[in-house]
């Protein structure tokens, strides 16, 4: 669990989804390594990992719009 200065409670690693159940609202992971790489004009990969989790996100934008589609792959360590 991560501790954030000014917060009284440690945070649990989690992925929180929006009400549609498909789009991601937030990702929280303590003690994480992060790798963000742009693959082309509309595609990024984001890898977030710590001792317990390996989360791999593919992030796509459509037609230059702000809407982002995200696919998640999770591997437990």
- At 34 the pLDDT is 93
The model's pLDDT over 22-52, given as tens digits with 9 standing for 90+, comes to: 778 888 888 889 999 999 888 888 888 888 8
Give the pLDDT of residue 75.
Answer: 67
Q: Which residues contact 30 (CB under 8 A, 6 or more apart)?
A: 1, 2, 3, 10, 11, 13, 50
pLDDT of residue 37: 93
Residue environment code for 17-41, b if the CB has 16+ CB neighbours within 10 A, otherwise e: eeeeeeeeeebebeebeeeeeeeee
pTM, two decimals, is 0.68
What is the mean pLDDT of the segment spanning 62-69? Answer: 59
């Amino acid at each position: 669990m991560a501790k954030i200065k000014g917060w009284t409670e440690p945070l649990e690693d989690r992925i929180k989804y929006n009400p549609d159940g498909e789009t991601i609202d937030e990702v929280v992971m303590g003690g994480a390594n992060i790798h963000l790489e742009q693959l082309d004009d509309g595609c990024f990969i984001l890898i977030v990992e710590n001792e317990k989790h390996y989360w791999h996100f593919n992030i796509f934008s459509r037609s230059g719009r702000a809407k982002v589609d995200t696919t998640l792959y999770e591997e437990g360590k």
